[in-house]
Structure 1
Amino acid sequence: MNEEQLHTMRHSLAHITAAAVKRLWPEAKFGVGPVVENGFYYDIDLGEEKISEQNFGKIEKAMRRIISEGQEFEHFTMPIDEAIEWARANGQPYKEELLNDLKRSGTTVAKDLDADEMGTIADGDAALDEVGFYKNGDFVDLCRGPHVDKTSSVGAFKLMRIAGAYWRGKEDNAQMQRLYGVAFAMQDELDEHLERLEQARLRDHRKLGKELDLYTMSPLVGAGLPMFTPRGTVIRDKLAQYSNQLREAHGFTKVWTPNITKTALYETSGHWAKFGDELFLVTSQETDDEMALKPMNCPHHTQIYASKPRSYRDMPVRFLETTTDYRDEKTGELGGLNRVRSLTQDDSHVFCRQDQIEAEIHGLLASVREMYETVGMKLRVRLSYRDDSDGYLGDPELWTAAQEQLKNAVIANELEYFEEEGEAAFYGPKIDFMATDAIGREHQLATAQLDFVQPERFGLEYTAEDSSKQQPVMIHCALLGSIERFMSVFIEHTAGWFPLWVAPEQVRILTINDTVLEYVEEIEATLRETVLMQPIKYNEVRFARDDRNESLGKKIREATAMKVPVQLIVGPKDQEAREVSVRTQESETKVALSELGEFLKGL
C-alpha cells in the first residue's frame, strides 16, 4: 500500500470513528478529523460527559461492527446555504461555523485549519457555492475526501489516547475531546508500531530521569527549569566535555559571555523583532537600561570578534561556548527535557572568508560524525536551501556558491543526505542533523547554519590582502544542540544503560560478606589509578561500594535497577585468587586485580 492509499484508509477510519461515537452518543458534536502521522484523530464534544480509555473497547467494537457491515462511502454535494441548514438542523455547531467561514472566505479557511474535513474546495480564495459530503450507513459528514470504497476496505487500527483540544486551536474557544487512533494496512505492521510505542514508554526520559535520579523539577523554581542531581550532572558535564574536546581539536577556542544583555543587542541582530516575545526581560534597579536574559549567543560572539581589528591572516576565527540560554516558552509546550526554558547549548561560531566556508563546514561535520558514532546513533543530514521567493537576504550568487560548498563538505564526510529547497533560514543555507535512535525514531538535534546577515548588521569586517575591508561569513554550529534536549533523546536511546565513559556511576563494588573489606580497599586503589582515555581524555573512574549486610542477590538487583554498567562482585575466593568477578550487561567473567584497569579501558 502506497502513502496515498494509506492516507485514504486512515482518513476513512477517522470517519468510522466518528460514526461509532455517534452510535454510542447520539448527541455528539463533531469538529474536524484529519490524518496525522501513523493514524488519525477526531475532535468531539460530548458536553459534560467525558470519553475515557475505559470507553475505547466499546468504541472499537462499534467501529468493527461498522466495518463488518461493509457500508459504502457515498459522495454527494450540497449548496452552501443548504449545508449550513443541515448543520444547524443536526445540532452540529462546529460544522456550521466552518461552513459559514467557507461561504465567506473559501480556501483560505481550509488552509488555515490544516485539516481534511473542509468540504470540496474550489481553486482560489473565492467564497464557495457548494460543498462536499460523504455518507456511510446513516452517518453523514462534511468532507472533501477521498475515502475507500466501503468501510470493510480499511486495515488494522487501535484507539490510543484522548486529549483536550481547543476548537481551532484558540484558547478562547470551547475545549473538545480529541480521540486519537493509529492505523496500518496489516495487523503485523500495527503490532510492530505498538511494540515501538511500548518501548518508547519504557524508555521515557521523564520516567527514567526519576528512577535513575538524574534530574528534578520544582514548582518553587518554575516550569521548564530542570535541576540536575549529582548523577545527572555527570552526564551533562561529560557530554559537554566531549563536545568541547572535538571542537578544540579543530581549532576552536573557548569564550564566555554574561547571561544578561541590553535588549539593544538583539534589536541590532534582528532577533528582537523575530523572537522578542520569547525573551525574559530583566529590570535594573540602578539604571534605565532595558535588559534581557540571553536567548542565544551569536550576537555576543559578534561583539568579541568586533573587539579588535581582524586581518585576512587571522581568518578563520573560531569561538566555542557551552552556556545556558533562556527562552520564555509557552507553559503548555513544556515537557520533561524536550522543551525547557533554560537550555544549555554547546554553541560554536566561525567567522571566515567566503573561500574558507567548505573547509570550515568539513571540520564541523567531521566533529558531528564522530560525536554521533560515539553515542551510537545513525546520522543523516538535510541540506536546506533557498528557493526563488523574496524572503531571503544576501546576494543570490553568494547563496549558490555557499550551498555548493555545504554539499561538497557533506559528500566529503560520507554522510547520507537529502536536499530541500525553501527550508533555509532567511539569513543563509543550513545543514540539519537528523539522528536515529535505538527504536527507529529520528530527531533533529543540531544545525549548522551559514549567516550572511549578522555580520552585515553588526558591521563586522576584516582587512583583505589588497587592504580592502571585507565582510566575513558567520557559521553557527552545535554538535549536541540543546544539551537538555539531547539528554532526553540519549536517555531514551540507551534506555538508561549509558556507555561507560558517560555513565554517572561506572562501577559498583558488591561484597559477598565483610571478610573482604581490606581487599575491597585494594580494588578501590586500583580504580583510582585507572584513567579511561576514550573517548574523553583523562576520564577518571567513578565508582561506589555496596558493603551493606544484605544478600548479594539484592545488591545485584539494586545495581541493575540503577543501570550501573560494571558490577564488581567480591567474595573470599576472589580475595584468595587476587581477582574479581566483573559483571556487565553482556557477560560475567573473572579478571585478575592486576589486569582490572586495562580490562575497564577495553569496555
Structure 2
Amino acid sequence: MSDVRVIIQRDSEREERVVTTGTTAADLFAGQRAIIAARVGGELKDLSYVLADGEEVEGVEISSEDGLGILRHSTAHVMAQAVQELFPDARLGIGPPVKDGFYYDFDVEKPFTPEDLKAVEKKMQEIQKRGQRFARRVVTDEDARAELADEPYKLELIGLKGAASHDDGADVEVGAGELTIYDNLDAKTGELCWKDLCRGPHLPSTRAIPAFKLMRNAAAYWRGSEKNPMLQRIYGTAWPSKDELKQYLDFLAEAEKRDHRKLGSELDLFSVPEQIGSGLAVFHPKGGVVRRVMEDYSRRRHEEEGYEFVYTPHATKGKLFETSGHLDWYADGMYPPMQLDEGVDYYLKPMNCPMHNLIFDARGRSYRELPLRLFEFGTVYRYEKSGVVHGLTRARGFTQDDAHIYCTREQMSEELDKTLTFVLGLLRDYGLTDFYLELSTKDPEKFVGSDEAWEEATETLREVAEKQGLPLVPDPGGAAFYGPKISVQTKDAIGRTWQMSTIQLDFNLPERFDLEYTSADGSKQRPVMIHRALFGSIERFFAVLLEHYAGAFPAWLAPVQAIGIPIGDGHVDHLEKFAAAARRKGLRVEVDSSSDRMQKKIRNAQKQKVPFMVIAGDEDMANDAVSFRYRDGSQENGIPVDDAIAKIAQVVEERTQV
C-alpha cells in the first residue's frame, strides 16, 4: 500500500505527516473529540473524507465558528427527521444554521403547536441517542429527482443548483458543483433511516450533538418571497455543551426582560398603535422626556463642534431622487409615490441627503465656508416589509440625527478623523463604551462612480479608522451605492452587538448634484461629502439604551429623576416644597400623594426604576431634611434639603448611574 503525505495546519504551525492510502480525516485526528470536521485545501469536509497526497488539512473544532455551523446544521437535519417521523405528510423546505441556532421549514397541513414542538424535541433526543451516521453521497440531478420525487421544494432547489441564494438558505442544500445527498444510517445495521438533499458537511453521527433545544415556531414564506407558499418554520439552538446551552438560555431570559417593547409598555414610554400602523411609534410623555433630553444634549454637543441646524420637508418631487440615484437603487425601500400637481410624483423622503445638497447649492459657496457641517433631526420613511418591522429598532417612520459635511479634498482626512472621534465621544457620554469598527466596501453589482474614486475613499476611511486603535472588521460589499462607510458597532450591558453610528465618504452625490465652491485661486471645485448619522435613528438609539439600562436610565436621562414618598399625609407639603425647589434647579421631581401605603409607593417607584426615592417623616420635617432610598434598596437618612437637591443635581450633571 503506497504512502500519502499530508500537511497538518495548526494556527501558524505546519506539520508534514506520512499516512497510508485510504486514511480519512477521522483517522488523522483520532482521539481529538473536539474536532468534528476538517478543512482541506480551504474547503470544509466531513471527517470521513479520504485524504489525497499533498493536501493541507486543518481540524475544525466544534466550538469554532465553522464548527458551530456544522453542529447546528446537523441538528437541523435531526429535527427534520423527527418531524417526518411524527408527521409523515410534512414536506421539507430548507434547514440552514443561523446565528446562535438553526431552523427548518416545513409544509404541513396545520401550524405546529407547543405540544408538537415538545414531541419533536423528544423524538430528536431519541434520534441523537441512536447515534445515526451522517453519510455523504454524490448523485446526479436525475437520480436526486427520482429519490426526492415526493419533496416538491427539494425538486425546485435542484433546479437552482449553481445559482442558490445565501439569503434564503438554499446554498446549504445545493450550492454549486456536484449534487449530494446525506443519509442518516443506523449505527449498527447501516440501514437508511432518513435522507436530505444537502451540500454538508455534517457531524460524524447524531451522538456528536452535545446539547440542543427547540425554541419556537413561526410562519415563513418559501424562500422569503410573499409570492410563494407559506410554510411553518421551527427554530432551535445547539451548543457544544449543556453548560453553554444553559448560559445561552439564561442570556435569552435576560434579553427578554430587557426587550424595549416590553419595557416601553411597563414604563409608559411609547406605543405602536394599530390605528396608525406597523412600524410607526408614538412617544408618551415619559418617553418624550427621555427623547427630548437625548436630543437636547446632542444638539448642544453638535453646536460646540461647529454644526449648523437645518430643517427639510417630509416629502419631495420624485425628480430629486432621480438626481440622487435613489429611484434607481433604493426604490424598493421607499413608499409608493403620491400623484399631485397634475401628475407630478411626490415621495415621502427615505433620507435627508438630497435636500441638504440643495441647501448647499442654494447660493455660491467659498472655500472659506468649508468645512460646512449641516445637521438635522430629520424624520424619514422607509417601506420595511412587515416581517422585519420590530418595535423601535426596525421602523417605517423614524428620525435620523443626520449630518452632512461638505469639505475640500485637503480637509477630508482631518474632518473624518474629527467626526469619528466626536461620534465615539458622544456615544460614551450616553453610557456605551465597548466598540469596534466595521469598514463597508463597494458592492461590485451596485455602485456609482469610478473605481479610482471608490479606492481613494475606501483607503482614506481605513486610515481614519485605524487611528482610533479599535478593532477594524471588513464588511465586503456592504457599502451604499454612493460610497464606502465606517460603522461603529457597540456591545450593550449583556454583550449584544448593535450597529450605531455610520460615516460615509461620498465623491458621487456632489457630482450628480453639480455642487461647487470657489477655491482660493478663483476656480470652481467639487466638494467632498461626508454622510454621518450618529444615533442612526432616535427611535432605534432610544430602544438600544432602554435595553442596555434595562429601563433603569441614569438620572440625567430618567423621565422622573426623584419621587417624593411621604410616610404619612402630614408629610406631603414638606415634599411638595422639596420638589418645587428641585424643579427650580431644572430637576424632574414628582411627589406620590396617593392614598397608597408607603411600602406600596416604594414598590411602585422601584417598578418605574426612579433613581432617587425621597422619603420624609416627622424627624425629616423637624430638621428640614429628607432621606434617600436608592434603586438597590440602600438608604441614606437625614440629608438637609439643600444638600439633597445638590446631590441629585450633581449626579445628573455628571451623567452617572446611582
Given the two structures, how large is their TM-score scaled by the length of structure 1?
Answer: 0.91
- What does residue range 179-218 of structure 1 map to in structure 2 within 5 Å? 179-218=234-273
Aligned to 1:11: 73
SS in structure 1 at match of 2:424: helix
- Residue 369 of structure 1 is aligned with which of 424, 436, 441? 424
Tell me whether 1:55 sits opposite 2:113 in the alignment. Answer: no
SS in structure 1 at match of 2:535: strand
**Percent identical:** 40
- What does residue range 474-513 of structure 1 map to in structure 2 within 5 Å? 474-513=529-568
Distance in 2 of aligned mates of 1:116 and 1:139: 21
CA-CA distance at 1:371 after TM superposition? 2.1
Cα distance change of structure 1 residues 285 and 151 upon mapping to structure 2, 3 Å threshold = closer
- Residue 521 of structure 2 is aligned with which of 463, 466, 470? 466
CA-CA distance at 1:212 after TM superposition? 0.7
- Residue 97 of structure 1 is aligned with which of 138, 142, 156? 156
- Residue 558 of structure 1 is aligned with which of 599, 604, 609? 604
Cα distance change of structure 1 residues 424 and 326 upon mapping to structure 2, 3 Å threshold = closer
SS in structure 1 at match of 2:431: coil
212-221 or 345-354, larger mean C-alpha shift? 212-221
- Residue 170 of structure 2 is aligned with which of 97, 115, 123? 115
SS in structure 1 at match of 2:144: helix
Whether the 8 Å CA contact 1:346–1:483 is kept in 2: the answer is yes
SS in structure 1 at match of 2:410: helix
- What does residue range 116-195 of structure 1 map to in structure 2 within 5 Å? 116-119=171-174, 121-122=176-177, 131-137=180-186, 138-195=193-250
CA-CA distance at 1:317 after TM superposition? 0.8
Whether the 8 Å CA contact 2:279–2:391 is kept in 1: the answer is yes
Aligned to 1:537: none
Aligned to 2:288: 233
| Deviation sequence 1:540-570 (CA, Å, 0-9, x none) | 2111110223211000111111111111111
| Deviation sequence 1:134-184 (CA, Å, 0-9, x none) | 233311222222111111111211100101112222223222111111011
| Deviation sequence 1:23-75 (CA, Å, 0-9, x none) | 22222221111111111111112223x32222232222211111111111222
Whether the 8 Å CA contact 2:314–2:380 is kept in 1: the answer is yes
- What does residue range 51-450 of structure 1 map to in structure 2 within 5 Å? 51-88=112-149, 91-99=150-158, 101-102=159-160, 106-109=161-164, 113-119=168-174, 121-122=176-177, 131-137=180-186, 138-280=193-335, 283=338, 288-377=343-432, 378-386=434-442, 389=444, 392-450=447-505
Aligned to 2:82: 20
CA-CA distance at 1:295 after TM superposition? 1.7
Distance in 2 of aligned mates of 1:229 and 1:427: 37
Whether the 8 Å CA contact 1:121–1:131 is kept in 2: the answer is no
SS in structure 1 at match of 2:558: coil
Cα distance change of structure 1 residues 110 and 354 upon mapping to structure 2, 3 Å threshold = closer
182-191 or 513-522, larger mean C-alpha shift? 513-522
Cα distance change of structure 1 residues 282 and 428 upon mapping to structure 2, 3 Å threshold = closer
RMSD: 2.1
Aligned to 2:635: 588
Whether the 8 Å CA contact 2:567–2:617 is kept in 1: the answer is yes
Whether the 8 Å CA contact 2:163–2:176 is kept in 1: the answer is no
SS in structure 2 at match of 1:107: coil
CA-CA distance at 1:411 after TM superposition? 3.9
- What does residue range 533-552 of structure 1 map to in structure 2 within 5 Å? 540-552=586-598
| Deviation sequence 1:80-115 (CA, Å, 0-9, x none) | 223212222xx322223323x15xxx3114667533
Aligned AA for 2:643? E
Given the two structures, how large is their TM-score scaled by the length of structure 2?
Answer: 0.84
Tell me whether 1:579 sits opposite 2:595 in the alignment. Answer: no
The answer to which structure, 1 or 2, has the higher relative contact order (CA under 8 A, 6+ apart) is: 1
SS in structure 1 at match of 2:520: coil
Distance in 1 of aligned mates of 2:533 and 2:263: 26
SS in structure 2 at match of 1:158: strand
CA-CA distance at 1:316 after TM superposition? 0.7
CA-CA distance at 1:117 after TM superposition? 4.5
Distance in 2 of aligned mates of 1:111 and 1:513: 65
Distance in 1 of aligned mates of 2:341 and 2:68: 63
Cα distance change of structure 1 residues 260 and 425 upon mapping to structure 2, 3 Å threshold = closer
Cα distance change of structure 1 residues 110 and 281 upon mapping to structure 2, 3 Å threshold = closer
Aligned to 1:30: 92
Structure that is richer in helix per residue: 1
Distance in 1 of aligned mates of 2:394 and 2:547: 15
Aligned to 1:600: 648
Whether the 8 Å CA contact 1:78–1:133 is kept in 2: the answer is no
Whether the 8 Å CA contact 1:119–1:132 is kept in 2: the answer is no
CA-CA distance at 1:379 after TM superposition? 2.1
SS in structure 1 at match of 2:227: coil
Structure 1 segments unaligned to the other structure (5+ residues): 123-127, 531-539
CA-CA distance at 1:192 after TM superposition? 1.0
Whether the 8 Å CA contact 2:132–2:184 is kept in 1: the answer is no
